[in-house]
Amino acid sequence: MDLRKKYRPVQLDDVVGQRRVTATLKAASQNNGFASAYFFSGNRGSGKTSSARILASLLTCESVQDGKVCGECRACQLIHAGHSLDVKEVDGATKKGIADINSLKEAAYYAPNELSRRVIIIDECHKLSADANASLLKILEEPPSHLYFILCTTEPRKVLDTILSRCHRFDFVKIQSKEIAKRLKFIAGEEGITIEDAALLSVAKLARGSMRDAIGYLEMIATVANGKSIADKAVQKYFCLPDRRGVINIVKAITDYNLPLIMDQVNDMIMASVDVEMILYEITEVFRSIMVLQAQNGSSKLLDLPDNEIEDLRSLSEAMPMSSPLKLARLFSEIEIKIKTNINARWIMEASLIDCAATLRKQRKE
């Protein structure tokens, strides 16, 4: 069973982490105040296409109540199964030429076949050609009353301003790890998967804001576990993730100029097959979190981390001047380039971490 498909949202309330978007769409449904064209932008896995399908259902469902579709009428069943002739999903990456858009337009001008309205969803719309955009713009300017467009993209800057000006725009944010973990816990309960909360959070963080990826990772680790309880260590080992405690130990070793500990912790992670860039990413996330705590006077409202980890970082931030993470930000910005142009990535990482420790040590002496 594909859990991503099974647990795909079918109501606005099911969409995780996009409260502003879902609240506005629900209000439009309640007031029958739909626009003729919508523009959904955001990172992959943030809920754009799922929300587009839900909006298509809201536009065509025979018994919408309080911003919720009935799920039982012909429109709901056809759209959910992906079989509706009047709700067309187009991949802008492959159907991007003017001939594709002209063909779409020609069919769209006709009255709906089965439902009350026609809805065209164009995914990755930023990949449409210049001629295709010009053709699309014409129908966006003067669409027939039965026709609605929903354009989705991960790269809104590549979409023409003239297209954007015809649409109601919604920006989908990255979903916080805590919200992803909460949804994963619900799915795990429904599927009879026994997994630690810490393991759920590790899976959620691995997905980096993508609900779709997180569910896929959960299904992968559950398949390997074969019914056994899943511990956080098992998740780290399977996905080759750096141990969070080890990452914080490296940060503390950098601030204390404890070079042996830096080398030991890095070696443990490398021996566990953790990717060099993943280690560096997690270290920079810790230093960024320290900077955020300092800039927010100790407030953690902008951090997407568990409470126990925040306390560790708060202790580190109190012992470190604010100039330290700012100085390290400049150092880390150069490391990625060095790694990609050197045959020994591990050596570059180790040397860079020692350089960071020496920089902080020198700063304290000045």
Residue with token string 């000045």: 366
Q: In CATH, what number is assigned to the domain containing residue 227?
A: 1.10.8.60
Q: Which residue range(s) make up the domain with 29? A: 3-172
pLDDT confidence of residue 308: 80
- What is the C-alpha separation between 59 and 247, in angstroms, rounded? 49
Enter the tokens of residue 198: 């810490």
pLDDT confidence of residue 141: 87
Provide CB contacts within 8 A for 145, sequence distance 6+: none
C-alpha triplet 199, 215, 302: angle, nearest 5°: 65
What global pTM score does this model have?
A: 0.86
Residues 125 and 39 both lie in one domain: yes
Split the chain (366 residues) into runs of 10 and give each run's mean pLDDT.
Answer: 88 93 92 91 92 93 89 88 86 84 84 88 90 88 90 92 93 93 95 93 92 94 89 92 91 93 94 91 91 88 84 86 85 83 89 91 78
CB of 319 closer than 8 Å to CB of 309: no
Which H or E run includes 150? strand 147-153
Domains identified in the chain, total number: 3
pLDDT confidence of residue 366: 66
Residues 314 and 344 both lie in one domain: yes
pLDDT confidence of residue 266: 94
Three-state SS for 85?
A: coil
Distance of CA 305 to the CA centre of its chain: 16
Q: In CATH, what number is assigned to the domain containing residue 13?
A: 3.40.50.300
Residues 200 and 87 both lie in one domain: no
pLDDT confidence of residue 51: 94
Residues 145 and 184 both lie in one domain: no
Strand order in 37-42's β-sheet? 87-91, 118-123, 147-153, 37-42, 168-172
Residue with token string 């100790």: 298
DSSP string computed for 17-55: T-HHHHHHHHHHHHTT---SEEEEEESTTSSHHHHHHHH
- What is the C-alpha separation between 51 and 312, in angstroms, rounded? 38
